[in-house]
Chains A and B, each alone.
Chain A
Amino acid sequence: MVVLVVLAVLAIALALWFFTTYNSLIGLKIRVDNAWSQIDVQLKRRYDLIPNLVESVKGYMQHEKDTLERVIKARSQAIDASGIKDKAQAENFLTQTLKSLFAVVERYPDIKANQNVLKLQEELTSTENKISFARQYYNDEVGRFNTSIQVVPANIVANACGFTRKEFFEIEDKAQKEAPKVQF
């Protein structure tokens, strides 16, 4: 009788532990998904802004067609990319081409004096920063999630319920690693 009671209590405690661990893992997973959708919102915003910027500097930059075309190409590549790794790569490329566009813009005093371009440039700078912040937040959340599905004893629950590690949204460009933000 006593043995049965002890076993029943143990079983209930085990079940309780199992459910609470599972729930907290699910909570973390949802936060990772949320963080990803944050990145997505900002990336979409950047896709929308780029054509406007290209449109408004096109008139000034007859000799810089290459740069502009590279930006447009990088944008459509980034839109088409799927999967976190490919997406990260395409986005990094887009960031680099945008940087070279900004560098070219610096050489044209006419463009710099145009309030409209300046405004778009500021919007884009802000969006770039938001992307890097959203990525930072996402990676923090992924780090926390990955840790919590690997620590003992939560890893038992994670393995049983099929939780797998999430991928980081990584930066591959070395120069970007040193200066993660565009500053004006």
Chain B
Amino acid sequence: MPFSFIDIEEKKTRVIGYLFAFIIVFYFVTSYLVLLVLENSVFPSFDYYTGRGFRMPPLEHTLIAFGVALIAGLMHWSLSTSHLIERICLTVGASPIDTKDTYHQYLKNIVDEVSVAIGGRRLEAYVIPSAAMNAFAIEDFGGRAVIGVTEGLLSRLNRAQIEAVVGHEAGHIISGDCLSTTVTCALSEIYDESFSKLGGALKRTRGRGSVVLLLLYLVIGAMRLMSNIIRYFISRQREYRADAVGVRLTRDPLSLAEALELISRTWRGQGAMGERMQSIFIINPAASQLDETEGLFSDMFSTHPPIKHRISILADMAHLDHKTLQENLKNFKRVAPIAKPEFKVEEAAAPASWLVFMGQDWLGPFGPAELLKLDGFKPDVWVRAEGSSVTSHAYEVPALLDLFRPAEVIGRTGAGNCPRCHTPLSEYSYEGVSILKCVYCEGVFVEQDKISRIFVRRDMDFGDDVVRLAKNFMGTKGKDALAEKIEPKNAWVLDCPKCHIQFKDKFKMRRQFFVHSYPVEIDRCSRCDGVWLDKYELEILQYLYEHKEQFFDGSNF
């Protein structure tokens, strides 16, 4: 342990104290400069040519200016440090995990493990819905700590590597530099927003107002530049230290080295995640040349140390060199946290009697007629043919699915109804994401925020029929379809399963192409933006998305 806990607390408060003092002094200096300019322009005794007649402001004016500065400084401080975590999460687009999502649950387990390793302090797990690979840690004054990773990282690293990354982030938290980094980011970010808003307003305003705006724009711009200095409080050494503490926690330097290597090769989220927030990430989202160099200048002005150096230190701990590490990663394959569906079609005669798993036990055997009389026999119960060891859902067995058809109940349950068959939808896990599926027509309803998660993850295998259909779609036939417009009479037909419960016919789903490069027609709800996809359409879209290089370089078509 580099520090005792008391040292850490002391160091924390000291850095925060410096930051606060810096803010106050910064405002004092600024307000004094403004005061100087005002004094010499309101009563212009100052002669530009001779430089004579320069007036120093009287004491009472100075005191007033300092009072104003104090208020402004306090406001800046309190505005940027209130709801610290929520505001930063909003800027980088992170949100708490979805407990129904297998991958997110997997992340939560890992974060909980690391929380045990640091002695039981609670850590919250957040996810950024982005295909980029990166991770961050933030902390507020109340001791609430958040560790976030992107979907891209979650779907491309293996368990040990994610654990190593989370360990690195926990390293920031327990070595005490996380809070100061978080506060620094919040402080330097506050002018960005007003600056860009003013810029927009400036373009629209004409006449006298625009002069005032321009002045304000320049002042805010100057403040923004100045408050950026604050970021150089953050030393790039902290990343080395967090690497070391992370390794002490997980005892796995190799995985951290591999994770850094894999992250550094891909898009880390430049342009997508708050530019001023780069200090909170494990690797700078903006891949800057400055980070990769050493020396006094880059030590002062960059937020992250050279990745190559970090990796070789870690690889060295695992008795490897950087080259060997890269060689080993060539064959890198991760184990997916989900069960892959199999594409075997079994044509067997339907057995006459079945065992049903209900309550906590296998019941039966029952004949088809008896099954229907059972209370709680639904399409999603587990069944097994008598004498067989294969267990499946009732809806996966065609013979049993037929049993349900006459007994269809058209009712409105909590999950909503299939817009085509008007039967209740059941929850279904597709690549770890919980979506709604109709057991009859096999169409699925996917909420807006979930569809991007599905496309980021690449752990599904596709059946031959999906591949064939997808290729058809991208062939000439599909291109013709793109040229045609969707007929208006088909455009507003389906009810959104979610919104229909509450709003009846007020909102319909609109038929459109999912994106304009892929001729797959989907229905999108005009209220919640959820998407209805018919059988195979989700798989086709995902296949197209994952193989887009193949379709767009023209080699296959």
Residues of A within 8 A of B112 (CB): 126, 130
Contact, CB under 8 Å: A59 / B120: no
Interface of chain A residues 130 through 180 with chain B (CB within 8 A): 130, 133-134, 136-137, 140, 180
Interchain nearest-CB distance for A60 vs B (Å): 6
Chain A residues with CB below 8 A from B118, complex form: 137
Given contacts A113-B342, A118-B338, A122-B106, are A133 and B391 in contact (CB under 8 A)? no
For the complex formed, measure the closest distance between the CB of A95 and the CB atoms of chain B, giving whole angstroms: 16
Q: Which residue of A lies closest to B249 (CB)?
A: A133
Contact status B113-A130, CB under 8 Å: yes
Q: Give CA–CA (A144, B124) in the complex, Å.
A: 28
Whether the pair A134, B116 counts as a contact (CB closer than 8 A) is: yes
Are A110 and B390 interface neighbours, CB within 8 A? Answer: yes
Instruction: Return the CB mask of B358-394 against A: 1 if under 8 Å, else 0.
Output: 0010100000000000000000000010000111000
Q: Is the CB of B114 within 8 A of A133?
A: yes
Counting chain A CB atoms within 10 Å of each CB, the highest count among B112, B116, B118, B340 belongs to: B116
Name the prevailing secondary structure of the A interface residues.
Answer: helix
Give complex CA distance A122, B103 in Å.
Answer: 11
CA distance A183 to B251 in the complex (A): 13
User: Which segment of A3-11, A34-42, A72-80, A86-94 sits at the interface?
Assistant: A34-42
Residues of chain B within 8 A (CB-CB) of A181 are 160, 252
- Residue of B110, B249, B335, B362 touching A126 (CB-CB under 8 A): B110
Choose from B120, B251, B337 the contact partner of A136 (Cβ within 8 Å): B251
Find the residue from B120, B338, B339 having the highest chain A CB count within 10 A: B339
Question: A-facing mask of B288-325, CB < 8 A → 1, else 0?
Answer: 00000000000000000000000000000000000000
Chain A residues with CB under 8 Å of B106's CB are 122
CB <8 Å contact, A114 and B113: no
Question: Given the complex of chains A and B, what is the CA–CA distance between A129 and B167 in angstroms?
Answer: 13
- Pick the contact of B117: A60, A62, A118, A137 (CB < 8 A): A137
> How far, in whole Å, are A130 and B339 apart by their CA atoms in the complex?
23
Inter-subunit contact A59/B117 (CB<8 Å): no
Contact check, A114 vs B391: say whether CB atoms are below 8 A apart.
Answer: yes
A126-B113, A129-B113, A136-B251 as given contacts; A115 in contact with B339, CB under 8 Å: yes
Contact A118 B339 (CB under 8 A): yes
What's the nearest-Cβ distance from chain A to residue B1, in Å?
8
Q: Which residues of B contact A62 (CB under 8 A)?
A: 389
B160: chain A residues within 8 A (beta carbon): 181, 183
Indicate if the CB atoms of B113 and A133 lie closer than 8 Å.
yes
Q: Does B119 have its Cβ within 8 Å of any Cβ on chain A?
A: yes
- A85: B residues at CB distance < 8 A: none
Contact between A133 and B339, CB atoms less than 8 A apart = no
Q: Contacts of B338 on A, CB cut-off 8 Å?
A: 115, 118
A112 contacts chain B at the CB level, 8 A cutoff: yes
Compute how far the CA of A133 lies from the CA of B335 in the bound complex, rounded to whole angstroms.
22
Asked if B120 and A122 sit within 8 Å, CB to CB, the answer is no
- Taking the closest CB of chain A, its distance from the CB of B298, in whole angstroms, is 35
> Which chain A residues border B120 with CB–CB below 8 Å?
34, 38
CB contacts under 8 Å to A, within B326-369, are 335, 337-342, 360, 362
Expressed in whole angstroms, the minimum distance between the Cβ of A23 and any Cβ of chain B is 12
- Please give the distance in Å from A128's CB to the nearest CB on chain B: 9
**CB-CB nearest in chain B for A61:** B389
* Nearest residue, chain B, Cβ from A38: B120
- CB contacts (< 8 Å) of A110 on chain B: these are 389-391
Per the 8 Å Cβ criterion, residues 81-138 of B in contact with A are: 102, 105-106, 109-110, 112-114, 116-120
Complex interface bits, B155-169 against A, C-beta within 8 A gives 1, otherwise 0: 000111001000000
Shortest A170–chain B CB gap in Å is: 16
- Complex Cα gap A31–B6 (Å): 14
CB distance from A49 to the nearest CB of B (A): 12
Smallest Cβ-Cβ distance to B337: which chain A residue: A122
* Cα separation A110 to B391 with both chains bound (whole Å): 8
Please report the C-alpha to C-alpha distance between residue A112 and residue B391 in the assembled complex, in whole angstroms: 12
Is B389 a contact of A112 with CB atoms below 8 Å?
no
Does B109 contact A122, Cβ atoms closer than 8 Å?
A: yes
**Contact partner, B159, options A123, A130, A180, A183, Cβ 8 Å:** A183
Residues of A within 8 A of B205 (CB): none
A152 smallest CB distance to B (angstroms): 20
How many Å lie between the Cα of A34 and that of B118 in the bound state? 12
- Partner of A123 from the list B109, B114, B389 (CB cut-off 8 Å) is B109
Which residues on the A side are within 8 Å of B116 (C-beta)? 38, 42, 130, 133-134, 137
How far is it, in angstroms, between the C-alpha of A159 and the C-alpha of B372 when the chains are bound?
76
Q: Is residue B429 contacting chain A, with contact meaning CB distance below 8 A? A: yes
Please name the residue on chain B nearest to A113 by beta carbon.
Answer: B339
Chain B residues whose CB sits within 8 angstroms of the CB of A34 once the complex forms: 119-120
Q: A122-B106, A180-B251, A184-B159 are in contact. Are A137 and B119 (CB under 8 A)?
A: yes
Q: How far is the CB of B336 from chain A (nearest CB, A)?
A: 10
Q: How far is the CA of A129 from the CA of B112 in the complex (A)?
A: 10
Q: Are A38 and B159 in contact, CB atoms less than 8 angstroms apart?
A: no
Q: Known contacts being A123-B109, A126-B112, A184-B159, is A59 close to B339, with CB within 8 Å?
A: no
Measured CA separation A10–B131 after assembly (Å): 67
Once the chains are docked, how many angstroms separate the CA of A115 from the CA of B341?
A: 10
Q: Give the contacts of A43-96 with B (CB-CB under 8 A).
A: 55, 59-60, 62
**Chain A residue at minimal CB-CB distance from B340:** A113
User: Could you tell me the distance between the alpha carbons of A183 and B334 in the complex, rounded to whole angstroms?
Assistant: 11
Residues of A within 8 A of B (CB): 31, 34-35, 38, 42, 55, 59-60, 62, 110, 112-115, 118-119, 122-123, 126, 129-130, 133-134, 136-137, 140, 180-181, 183-184
The 8 closest A-B pairs by CB, nearest first: A133-B117, A126-B109, A133-B116, A130-B116, A129-B113, A113-B339, A134-B116, A130-B113
Question: Can you name 8 extra interface pairs (CB under 8 A) apart from A118-B339, A122-B109?
Answer: A60-B391, A110-B391, A115-B429, A130-B116, A133-B116, A133-B117, A136-B251, A137-B116
- Which residues does B use to contact A, with CB under 8 Å? 1, 102, 105-106, 109-110, 112-114, 116-120, 158-160, 163, 249, 251-252, 335, 337-342, 360, 362, 384, 389-391, 429
In the complex, 10 of the A-B residue pairs with CB atoms within 8 angstroms, ordered by the A residue number, are A60-B389, A60-B391, A62-B389, A114-B391, A115-B338, A118-B337, A130-B116, A137-B116, A137-B118, A183-B160
